[in-house]
Amino acid sequence: MDPHATAGRIVHYYGGLPAPTAAIVNHETEGDGKADLTVFTPSGPQVRTMVPYSEHPKDYHWSWMPYQKAKAAAAGGNQSESAEPRPSER
């Protein structure tokens, strides 16, 4: 999946714990997929810089959550789910 993430996206961070940790992308990623993240650890939020992307779970990397990967693979791709009303398609 594309490692490009925009600011504010929620992703998984694998930081050596048995399960992934929620993280928010702080700045839009560059083409290499490295991201600055706010990671929500059991001891509180921590900032991690230049975290590389990995398609599959890998310690000290970020990845898309499984539902994001499934949406991207579905027809129409990974379209944003906004709470704002959308204009009619007419």
> Which tens digit of pLDDT belongs to each residue from 39-86?
998 889 999 999 999 999 999 999 999 888 888 777 666 555 554 455
pLDDT score at 77: 63
pLDDT score at 83: 47
pLDDT score at 73: 77
Burial 48-68 (b: 16+ CB within 10 A, else e): beebebeeeeeeebbbbeeeb
- Whole-model pTM: value is 0.78
